[in-house]
Structure 1
């Protein structure tokens, strides 16, 4: 994996302080998979401990495969840039570099389109994203109206809606959409 350097964000300036995802796609050199895994584990541990880090997800290849896709999520573009400019990142990516080659340049996404960026290609067509978002929102809305609403009826409307929306956004962003995009990956990019 060639150490990806900081690149210009592909999002609008007004979205600078929204969560951002960068995706790295690397092909491990034959025979270096175990060493790569150890160094990748160290890189992810350092990344998730960095200020503003939200998550790191690794899509590993099958037993005979060599392609790894790593998604790093940060709270904002400046926090991602701070990580990419840090000595921690530079040292770890320099250690990994001899073990793999970069397949595609890093891509950054902001907001809901980041849910669909699992293999570093352009976001899927809206007619494919919309049903998947609906599929993600439906169980949350159902759960919210049947479980959360009765439990929160004692609260005034504004705090009740704010709390319900916060739970829904967290579930959608960090649980449901990442799961759905993995399950429907081929269909999304077909």
Structure 2
């Protein structure tokens, strides 16, 4: 059995929540049938979203944890730190697939094309010109295949590691505007 718990934590309450969560995990691990826990941390609109996935060997053992006085006391303790309470989902399978609440849709492809074009066009004009002295110095490097490999590799590395991160930050507001 899998129990999914979602907590939206008020911004100023993250540190006390983290301490509460560590204590709660330690207590839950001591319950019969507990077979694991995973915690996913996200940020959503100024709030910290914690998704805890607890696994128990049987539904009776999971129910024993849910009905326990310790869990009820822990939930009462954490309530003031939460923006919208203790949200639970139960799944009879061991696996639990969920989409993070903050998983944003990517920008429209046409916007991605525009930014990519603006990054690659100047590089495709500049990089071959910058390599010309090396091609003159080493003629074997200036052959059709070697020169294309060197130029393409240079452009790809520059795009991925230098210019695309800068461009996506520069155009972030436009890319994410809906």
TM-score (norm 1): 0.47
Which residue does 1:32 correspond to in 2? 13
- Tell me how far 1:84 sits from its aligned partner: 0.8
Contact 1:69 1:118 in 2 (8 A): no
- Tell me how far 1:38 sits from its aligned partner: 0.1
Q: In structure 1, what is the Cα distance between the partners aligned to 2:31 and 2:62?
A: 9
Q: Summarize the alignment of residues 131-170 of structure 1 with structure 2, pairs less than 5 Å apart.
A: none
Q: For the structure 1 residues 55 and 66, does the alpha-carbon distance in structure 2 shift closer, same or farther, using more than 3 Å as the test?
A: same
Which residue does 1:16 correspond to in 2? none
* 2:33 aligns with one of 28, 52, 69: 52
- Tell me how far 1:56 sits from its aligned partner: 1.1
Q: For the structure 1 residues 82 and 26, does the alpha-carbon distance in structure 2 shift closer, same or farther, using more than 3 Å as the test?
A: same
Offset from partner CA, 1:35-54 (integer Å, 9 cap, x none): 00000111111111111111
Q: How many positions carry a matched residue from both structures? A: 100
Q: In structure 1, what is the Cα distance between the partners aligned to 2:27 and 2:100?
A: 23
Offset from partner CA, 1:81-139 (integer Å, 9 cap, x none): 10111111111111111101347831111225x3424659xxxxxxxxxxxxxxxxxxx
Q: Summarize the alignment of residues 113-124 of structure 1 with structure 2, pairs less than 5 Å apart.
A: 114-117=95-98, 119=100
Q: In structure 2, what is the Cα distance between the partners aligned to 1:55 and 1:75?
A: 10
Q: Can you give the 5+ residue segments of structure 2 that lack an aligned partner in the other structure?
A: 102-178
Structure showing greater radius of gyration is 2
Q: Secondary structure at the match of 1:34?
A: helix
Please tell me whether residue 91 in structure 1 is matched to residue 73 in structure 2: yes
Q: In structure 2, what is the Cα distance between the partners aligned to 1:58 and 1:38?
A: 14
Superposed CA RMSD in Å reads 2.4
Q: Summarize the alignment of residues 103-118 of structure 1 with structure 2, pairs less than 5 Å apart.
A: 105-111=87-93, 114-117=95-98
Q: In structure 2, what is the Cα distance between the partners aligned to 1:88 and 1:23?
A: 18
Contact 2:10 2:47 in 1 (8 A): no
Bigger helix share: 2
* 1:81 aligns with one of 54, 63, 68: 63
Q: Secondary structure at the match of 1:111?
A: coil
TM-score (norm 2): 0.50
